[in-house]
Amino acid sequence: MTVGPVPFMALAAILFAIGLFGALSKKSAVMVLMSLELMTNAVNLNLVAVSRFVTPESMAGQFTAAFVMVVAAAEIGLGLALVLALYRKRRTVELDHIDELKG
C-alpha cells in the first residue's frame, strides 16, 4: 500500500491552519513565534511532499526545505533576541501591552 501526496498536503494544511490560528489569537510574543515556526514546518512538509511525488529524480524540494529551515532558525534566534530586549524594556512580552516601537 502506497501513500500519495494528498495525506501529506492535508497534514500540512492542518498544521498551517493551527499555526495561523495561533499567530492571530495568542497574546504572547513567544507563542506567536512558535506559531510562525509551525507554519514554516507546514510549508517544508509541502515542499518535500511535492518534490517526492512530482519530481522524484530531483531533490529541489528537499534542498529548498533545508534552506527554509536555516532561515527559520535564524528568524527564531532574532525573534527571541527581540523578545528578550522587549522584556527588558517593558517588563512584559504580551503583545497587547506594546503600544509604541520607538525607544
What phi-psi label fits residue 91: left (phi over 0), alpha (psi between -120 and 50 degrees) or beta?
left
Query: Considering its fold, how many domains does the chain have in total?
Result: 1
Among 96, 83, 24, 16, which residue's Cα sits nearest to residue 49? 16
For residue 67, name the pLDDT band (cuts at 50, 70, 90).
Answer: very high
User: What are the pLDDT digits (tens) for 35-63?
Assistant: 999 999 999 999 999 999 888 888 888 99
Q: 62 lies in which domain range? A: 5-97
Q: The CATH number of the domain where 47 resides is what?
A: 1.10.287.3510
Tell me if 103 is assigned to some domain.
no
Tell me the average pLDDT of the chain. Answer: 89
